[in-house]
Amino acid sequence: MTDFDYDLFVIGAGSGGVRASRIAASHGARVAVAEEFRVGGTCVIRGCVPKKLLVYASHFAHTLHDAPTYGWNLGETAFDWAKLRDFVASDVDRLERAYTSTLESNKVEHFAERAVVAGPNTVRLASGREISAKVILIAVGAWPVMPEIDGAEHCITSNEVFHLPELPGRIVIQGAGYIALEFAGVFNALGSQVTVVNRSDKILRGYDHDLTERLLPIMQARGIEFAFNHPIEKVSKQADDSLLVRTAGGLEIAADAVMVATGRRPKTDGLGLESVGVDLGANGEIPVDEYNRTSCPSIYAVGDVTDRVQLTPVAIRQGHAFADTVFGAMPRTVAYDHIPSAVFTQPPIAAVGLTEEQARLVHGHVKVFKSDFRPMQNMFSAVAERGYYKLVVDPVTDKVLGIHMIGPDSPEILQAAAIAVKAGLTKAQFDETVALHPSMAEELVLMR
């Protein structure tokens, strides 16, 4: 027994915090977690999960459009935003209950209030109560960045987008990263007029150039307007309650909603970290070592608050590795190479490993194999969208260094292919694999 109230106090019950709590408790630690909003965190409550449900909903627009070509005689169809929004909200409620019951069944005490760090081994709850813990884990995530915009109070972020009272007839989305482009696809398919405005002329910085240069014209052909080098300067409310967006480049765009998706900043403000000697980075992030240790020996951090890779599965792994290391006597670190990722645009893109550009920097010379094909499901479609897969290969070892894909279901296909890249398989081993026909995935083993 120790003199502390708990062995572990976790601040933040999101993906990383819940996993760390559950695993630490399973190793016998006495654990408590404080959450100021809802159990589940960004991914479950206002991120990946509700977003993916909206993406599924928006796929029906294309399916219904193509259905008559496949012989389906449909009557008039209509879309009901309120119905979808409420269904998504109820599923989020269900998941929150599931996460809460996971904490309960693992005997993790849950405080439904904000907690801040009051000492190296002390947290203070919003109610004023102080609690001691041998170890404190910071897992508070990140928060949407709102750039300097005159009239920012008229803008929403991904926090509010799931609760819109009605489907906006016209929406302006600022940013050209994951969130901006995923929601541009959703609103476009559901029937809104979408304009994406961005400060640069780049979309999805970090993804292979061949993918982004194919995605952009497809999104434009679907009716999404893009205004590059036009960050929003001002948003003003008009007499009829609509909004007028003025960009720094002088464009004026009428809108019913303005969504800003310009990155997410670690949510460390006011958390008391500086007072106990936890160093913070320039973006408010908590730098940690490979074992998730901060500069204060009793305080650790995992997930988006550390601003390493802002992805749910990474936060979960970090939380698990932390708990095994500190409470399970099994020191474990997380490998950051070969993390697969996807952007649920329409069509989606997915990637693992090095881009062609990165591979050239590391290996000098690389071999590149490409397949540019028309997916069978688009054969009858009025939209002649093509798929594109690319393998980046080390010419010396023949190992596949990266896979980059755009096309229907590419995230589903990429997850399996990522195992091969992680395992260090060679292009020859891809070629030896018999194709599964007819599929889009077979392109992966047919590139010569």
Nearer to ligand NDP, 342 or 366 (CB): 342
Q: Report the residue number, 135 or 349, with the smaller CB distance to ligand NDP.
A: 349
Closest residue to ligand NDP, judged by C-beta, is 177
Helix (H) or strand (E) holding 404: strand 400-406
Q: Is 310 in the site for ligand NDP (CB under 6 A)?
A: yes
Q: Which stretch binds ligand NDP (CB under 6 A): 22-30, 216-224, 259-267, 427-435?
A: 259-267
Give the Cα separation of 245 and 253 in Å (integer). Answer: 5
Q: Of 31, 261, 401, 440, which one interacts with ligand NDP (CB under 6 A)?
A: 261
Minimum separation from the CB atom of position 185 to ligand NDP (A): 11
Does the annotation mark 363 as catalytic? Answer: no
Gap between the Cα atoms of 408 and 379, Å rounded: 13
Q: Report d(CA 163, CA 199) in Å as an integer.
A: 27
Which residue, 213 or 432, has its beta carbon nearer to ligand NDP? 213
Helix (H) or strand (E) holding 127: none
Catalytic residue among 62, 154, 365, 437: 437
Q: Which residue's CB is nearer to ligand NDP, number 207 or number 389?
A: 207
Kindly state whether residue 180 participates in binding ligand NDP, applying the rule CB under 6 A: yes
DSSP 359-379: HHHHHSS-EEEEEEE--GGGT
Q: How many residues sit close enough to ligand NDP to count as binding (CB under 6 A)? A: 24
Site string for ligand NDP, 54-93 (x = CB under 6 A): ----------------------------------------
Count the neighbouring beta carbons within 10 Å of the beta carbon of residue 246: 18
DSSP string for 295-342: SSTTEEE-GGGG-S---HHHHHHHHHHHHHHHHSS-------TT--EE
Query: Is residue 179 within the footprint of ligand NDP (CB under 6 A)?
Result: yes
Q: Does 263 bind ligand NDP (CB under 6 A)?
A: yes
User: In angstroms, what is the minimal distance from the CB of 246 to ligand NDP?
Assistant: 15
The span from the CA of 196 to the CA of 268, in Å, is 30
> Which residues pair with residue 402 across a beta bridge?
353, 392
Interacting residues with ligand NDP between 201 and 240 (CB under 6 A): 202, 205, 231
CA 198 to chain CA mean position, Å: 19
Query: Cα dist. 206→14, 47, 193, 287, 335 in Å?
Result: 26, 21, 27, 22, 19
* Phi and psi, residue 36, nearest 5°: -85, -20
Closest CA relative to residue 139, chosen from 32, 268, 48, 37: 268
- Segment interacting with ligand NDP (CB under 6 A) among 115-123, 124-132, 194-202, 417-425: 194-202
Binding-residue pattern over the window 124 to 153 for ligand NDP, x denoting contact by CB under 6 A: -----------------------x------
- Near ligand NDP by CB under 6 A: residue from 175, 319, 387, 402: 175
Q: Which residues are annotated as catalytic?
A: 437
Residues that bind ligand NDP (CB under 6 A): 147, 175-180, 182, 198-200, 202, 205, 231, 261-264, 310-311, 341-344
